[in-house]
Copies of this chain bind each other. A is one copy, B any other.
Amino acid sequence: MIEPVTRAERVRKGSSQRRVQEKENLQQAIMDAAGELLLEQGYSGFSLRQVAERIGYSATTIYLYFKDKDELVFSLIDEAWDRFGRELEQAAASTTNPIEQLRAIGHAYFNFGLNNAVYYQLMFMQRSDFLFCPKPDEELPRIASFVVLTNAVQAGIEAGVLKPGDVQAYSLTAWSLVHGLVSLWISMPQLISESVVRGSIDTILDVAIGGLLQQQGSAIS
């Protein structure tokens, strides 16, 4: 009896639900269009006007959903980081063997980069300034998510499978290598086909991890 009974009330409720959903839809639609545009035009040729055009709304409308251009870009990056961070964590959680963990993290990183080239570019190459500015309600900047990597390296050293050394330096080395490959491919897709890159991942991880191993050979075994 306390449920909304009148038809009018039910209609109103449905309407407001649809509203919310549509609103989210438009916000998401803007972000999707922005993603497409970034893919096609690159970051420098990316304008709010074109985004608006693409979704069939006036340019002004975008400002109803995003404070300004930067906020739209930030949202794109943020969304990507959510996925990225999740994938890294899943990879890290997939095993307790430090070496396996490093390899899994490396794979996850690679895969994210290859499957989300536009966003990877945004996150690490074009707007890396956002890496260091935390979201309004959060404490840590996004870059802090990299702790999964340093943790794995630390564990490897403590377990005695990696050569003793500076955790930060080792992590940086590992990051450099994977970032290097991903970004080379993104910047110069003509150079190496995606399939070649995907095929190189294991070799490269072998080399990287091999270079850090206490005892050579175990990485490849």
Tell me the bound Cα distance from A135 to B128 in angstroms.
32
Tell me the bound Cα distance from A175 to B213 in angstroms.
21
Residues A176 and B204 in contact, CB atoms below 8 Å apart: yes
Identify which of B129, B165, B179, B180 contacts A203 (C-beta below 8 A): B165
Tell me the bound Cα distance from A66 to B3 in angstroms.
11
Would you call A4 an interface residue if the criterion is a C-beta within 8 Å of the partner chain's C-beta atoms?
yes
Residues B177 and A177 in contact, CB atoms below 8 Å apart: yes
Most chain-B Cβ atoms within 10 A of its Cβ — which of A71, A143, A207?
A207
Partner-binding segment picked from A33-41, A81-89, A92-100, A181-189: A181-189
Residues B173 and A3 in contact, CB atoms below 8 Å apart: no
Q: Classify the interface of chain A: helix, strand, loop or mixed.
A: helix
Residues A125 and B187 in contact, CB atoms below 8 Å apart: yes
Q: Which residues of B contact A165 (CB under 8 A)?
A: 203
Residues B136 and A3 in contact, CB atoms below 8 Å apart: yes
Identify which of B71, B131, B177, B181 contacts A188 (C-beta below 8 A): B131
Residues A172 and B200 in contact, CB atoms below 8 Å apart: yes
Would you call A216 an interface residue if the criterion is a C-beta within 8 Å of the partner chain's C-beta atoms?
yes
Residues A64 and B8 in contact, CB atoms below 8 Å apart: yes
Would you call A147 an interface residue if the criterion is a C-beta within 8 Å of the partner chain's C-beta atoms?
no
Residues A63 and B7 in contact, CB atoms below 8 Å apart: yes
Residues of A that sit less than 8 Å from B by CB: 1-8, 44, 63-67, 70-71, 74-75, 124-125, 128-133, 135-136, 143, 165-166, 169-170, 172-173, 175-181, 183-184, 187-188, 190-192, 200, 203-204, 206-213, 215-216
